[in-house]
Amino acid sequence: FGGVGDGVTSNTAAFTAAMTWMTRFVGRGGAQLNVPRGTWVTGSFNVTSDFTLFLEDGAVIMGSEDMKEWPIIEPLPSYGRGRERLGGRHISLIHGDGLTNVVITGQNGTIDGNGKMWWYLWWNRTLKHTRGHLLEIMNSRNILISNLTFRNSPFWTIHPVYCSNVVIKDMTILAPLNAPNTDGIDPDSCTNVCIEDCYIESGDDLIAIKSGWDQYGTSMARPSSNVIIKRVSGTTPTCSGVGIGSEMSGGISNIRVENLHIRNSAAGIRIKTDIGRGGYIENITITNITMDKVKVPLRFSRGADDHPDNGWDPHALPRVKNIFITNVVSYNSKKAPMLQGIEGAPFEGICMKNVTLLGLQSTMQWNCEYISGFASDVSPAPCPLLRSNASCTLQQCIGGLYRTSNEPLLGSRTEHSWSEVGYTVRPRRHPFLYTVRTLSRQLTKVVEKVGTTVSVGLFKPNSWFPERFHISCGDSS
């Protein structure tokens, strides 16, 4: 296609011609474009369906410094405008819309956004339009991104939006730690997403789950759900390892984050929302997290108090509930976890278990206002508002959920997602009913004796994502 990989010559026309040719094979077995060793400078280009982009070892796709090669496109409907500026936004370096079966992979080749030009525009406040992403795939399904290094994105690095069945794995994502808004991976109004085995250094969130901005996100109502994040490590001195929100107006639910290692960062896990967002964040599981020199290991709070325009609704309050945090170890944090709700929209059903803070620099042990809940086996002793179990209905009758290996899980009166088979319940009082409901069946047990172990006997579904189940308990009478 006439490309020249000398690091100088523009290959925009060559990539565009190649992609035009590849569209001939959509629905006919697909096609693969191999990018050989060399530095291939290009402006934005669109990929197609039934397509593989493969970067060989030593291959670099480099973003053009000519801003004209990053055209302006319409804003996302769930945002109503560019995220940084009114009106449209610059297209991503690699872009796709309305696609099926796309693979972007290689032998650890590199895609470099050449972002410094864009960062200076942001620092100097001379941006006219919102910066483009390194990779954005829209309205698509069956997407695989793997085995590559992404560097120096102008804005958010990988941005799947309105997509389903997305796998991002074995990726290295790098940006200078002062590069503004260079999020690593931002699934946005997406379902069935798996992010695993990635290393990220960023000037913003390593991973941020989103679903639209204020009234535009609420109107579109495209949630992010069924997202699994595991075995991710990295650092971000200004933001969080995993952020949920603050653009969450379409709703975010059924998220599992496990086996993270975050270091030298501002926050480990952050849930952020705000007045005007509306929407919901619910059914979040965070487990097996290790942090080192993270300023605030866990933070739930309001965001930046920013809105797309004057049409936002000050009465649109977000709902945050059913957040389960287990097996967290944080070394050398400056502050203890900070959980700050919103007046009129309290955060509900937050449970933390086996959270250990070692080398904590803060001398304040507890500071509690406007809360209620239950605590046991906590040191130092919690504030009085958390010393009564009167409001913890489930804890009164269930000691917890257990795998058959007796590894503890959390029980709650809500929905869960687990893929293992064979659960047990350990009651604290008797008699009571214990009910498990899935989409396909219901199972009820009557327990007569304290300490009885009851097998729930769930099954593993034939899908990437386990079938949700709802548990409840009460007196047998």
128-137 pLDDT, tens per residue? 999 999 999 9
How much is the pLDDT for 451? Answer: 43
Backbone angles phi, psi at 396, to 5 degrees: -70, -25
* Catalytic residue of the set 50, 112, 204, 292: 204
Residue with tokens 């490309």: 3
pLDDT-derived band of residue 420, with 50, 70 and 90 as boundaries?
very low
For 24, other C-beta atoms within 10 Å of its C-beta total 10
Mean pLDDT of 351-366: 89
Q: Is the pLDDT of residue 13 over 90?
A: yes
Domain residue extents for the chain: 6-386, 393-475
CA distances from 125 to 75, 93, 293, 433, 448 (A): 20, 22, 32, 62, 68
Q: State the amino acid at position 311 in one-letter form.
A: G
Q: Is the pLDDT of residue 391 over 70?
A: no
Q: Is the pLDDT of residue 416 over 50?
A: no
How much is the pLDDT for 305? Answer: 83
**Could you tell me the two tokens for 264?**
């030298």
Residue with tokens 């996302």: 76
- Whether 475 is catalytic is no
149-202 pLDDT, tens per residue? 999 999 999 999 999 999 999 999 999 999 999 999 999 999 999 999 999 999
How much is the pLDDT for 382? Answer: 85
Cα–Cα distance, 285 to 260 (Å, whole number): 13
Percentage of residues in the chain having pLDDT higher than 70:
81
CATH homologous superfamily of 6-386: Single-stranded right-handed beta-helix, Pectin lyase-like (2.160.20.10)
Q: Is the pLDDT of residue 456 over 60?
A: no
Q: How buried is 413 (Cβ within 10 angstroms: 0-12 exposed, 13-18 middle, 19+ buried)?
A: middle
pLDDT-derived band of residue 472, with 50, 70 and 90 as boundaries?
very low
Cα–Cα distance, 327 to 76 (Å, whole number): 38
Q: Is the pLDDT of residue 54 over 60?
A: yes
pTM higher than the cut 0.75: yes
How much is the pLDDT for 379? Answer: 87
How much is the pLDDT for 269? Answer: 98
How much is the pLDDT for 369? Answer: 86
pLDDT-derived band of residue 377, with 50, 70 and 90 as boundaries?
confident
Mean pLDDT of all residues belonging to the chain: 85
Residue 321 CB contacts under 8 Å (≥ 6 apart), including other chains: 280, 281, 282, 347, 348, 349, 414
Mean pLDDT of 132-145: 98
pLDDT-derived band of residue 370, with 50, 70 and 90 as boundaries?
confident
Cα–Cα distance, 307 to 311 (Å, whole number): 9
Q: State the amino acid at position 94 in one-letter form.
A: I
Cα–Cα distance, 464 to 43 (Å, whole number): 36
Mean pLDDT of 452-474: 40
168-182 pLDDT, tens per residue? 999 999 999 999 999
pLDDT-derived band of residue 388, with 50, 70 and 90 as boundaries?
low
For 66, other C-beta atoms within 10 Å of its C-beta total 12
